[in-house]
Amino acid sequence: MIEVPHPGEFLAEELECRGWSQRDLAYILGVSEQGITQIVNGRRGISPEMAKALGDAFDVNPEFFTNLQKAYDLSRAKEPDPGIARRAQFQSVYPIREMIRRGWLEDTDVPMLEGQLMRFFHTNDISSIPHLAHAAKKKSYDVDTPEQLAWLYRVRQISSEIVVPRYSKKALEEVIKDQLPALMTDPEEVRHVPRLLAECGIRFAIVEHLDKTHIDGVCFWDSGQPVVAMTTRFDRIDNFWFVLWHELTHVLNEDGKKKGTRERVDANLKYEISDDLPPEEKRANKAAADACVPIREMDSFYARKAPYISEKDVLGFARRIKRHPGIVVGQLQYRMDRYNWLPKYKVAVRKFIAQSAVMDGWGNPAPVSL
C-alpha cells in the first residue's frame, strides 16, 4: 500500500511557504500553540472543527483537510479479516446466519463454513453451489430462490436419515381410502399420520419454512422412495390436511419420479384450480380439496345455504361428511373471500403432529449429522 503522509506534513509545508510560524497560526486560529505543534508533529489528527478553521485560515475548502486526514487514517487502518468478503458473498445469496441459528450449519471460520456448505449442497466444488455464481431468478412452481433451495436441501438431509420400508403404492391407496379420512374429525388424530405414511414407505418430516419462501410442502423421490415434507407455516387444521393431501396426490401420481425431473416445492397453496397452474398442480389441488370436503357435497351445500351460512349449518354439514368443522370453514372462507369468518374452528395442529413426526425448527433442530 502507498505510504500516505500525516496531514501535519502538509501543514508544516504551508506554514513555511507563507512565512508563518506555528505560533502565528495558533494566534490566527485562536488556539494553543501546543495543539498546532501536535498536529505538525503527527501526534494529533485534524478534527472536522479544525478542518473548517484551517479552511478559513488558508482560504481553501475544508474538505481538503478532512480528505487528507481520511486518507491517512485509512492507510493506517488494519487490514480486515479476509473472510469478511466471503461471508458477505454467502449471506447475500443464502440466509447463512439463519441457517446457523437453526442448527443447519455450525458457526465456524470461513474455510470450515465452505466445507459445510459443500456437504450441505452435496458438492465437492464451492462454485458449483447453485446461485453463488449468478443472480437468482424467481419462477412459479420452480425451486429457483436460494431460500427455497436451502430449505429443500435441509429436507433432503433430514429425510436421508429416516428409515422406512420399501414404498408400496397399494398400501398408500388403502391408507388414503380408509385410515386418513377417519383422522379428520379430531385435531389430535394428526399424530397418527407419520406412522401411517412410514408404514407405506414414505419418509415424512415437518421443517419450518425460511422467511420469503412461502413454502407449504414438497414431494420428491430419493432412490425410488417418496419424501413428503411440510412446513405448517399456517398452523391450522384445514391447511394441514389440504397440504398433506396435495403432496400425497403427487406421490400417488408419481409426479417428479422420472429420472432427471427437477424437484419443485409447493408454495402459497390454495384451493384454486386455475388454468395458470401446471397440470400436476391442478390435479393435486382438486384431489386435495375433494379429500378435505367432497366437491359435490360442498357445491350442493354452498348452493343451498350461501350467502347466509350459519354456524349451525356448518356444524351439521361437518358432522354429516365426518370432517372437523375447521376443515369445512377453511374452504368456505376461500369461496366467500371472508378469512375472518368463524376463525375459532381453524384450530392449531402442529403441537399434535410434533408428538410423532420428525420436526425441524421452532428452536429445535432435527437430530441429524451436519
Q: Where are the beta strands (DSSP E) in 208-305?
A: 215-222, 225-230, 265-267
Q: Where are the beta strands (DSSP E) in the chain?
A: 203-207, 215-222, 225-230, 265-267, 358-360
pLDDT for position 133: 56
Calpha distance 33→39 (Å, rounded): 10
Compute the C-alpha angle 339/340/345, nearest 5°: 95
pLDDT in tens, 105-159: 999 999 999 999 999 999 999 988 988 754 333 344 455 789 999 999 999 999 9
Calpha distance 352→183 (Å, rounded): 12
pLDDT in tens, 310-366: 999 999 999 999 999 999 999 999 999 999 999 999 999 999 999 999 999 999 999
Domains, the chain, in order of start with CATH, read 7-76 (1.10.260.40), 83-128 (no CATH), 146-292+347-360 (no CATH)
User: Which three three-digit cell numbers place residue 175?
Assistant: 391408507
pLDDT in tens, 204-220: 999 999 998 899 999 99
pLDDT for position 370: 61
pLDDT for position 131: 82
Q: DSSP string spanning 306-354?
A: TTS--HHHHHHHHHHHT--HHHHHHHHHHHHT-TTSSGGGS---HHHHT
Calpha distance 218→62 (Å, rounded): 62
pLDDT in tens, 75-96: 988 888 889 999 999 999 999 9
Calpha distance 179→177 (Å, rounded): 6
Taking the model in full, what pTM does it have?
0.83
pLDDT in tens, 105-116: 999 999 999 999
pLDDT in tens, 164-178: 999 999 999 999 999
pLDDT at residue 99 is higher than 70:
yes
String of b and e for 330-339 (b: at least 16 CB within 10 Å)?
Answer: bbbbbeeeee
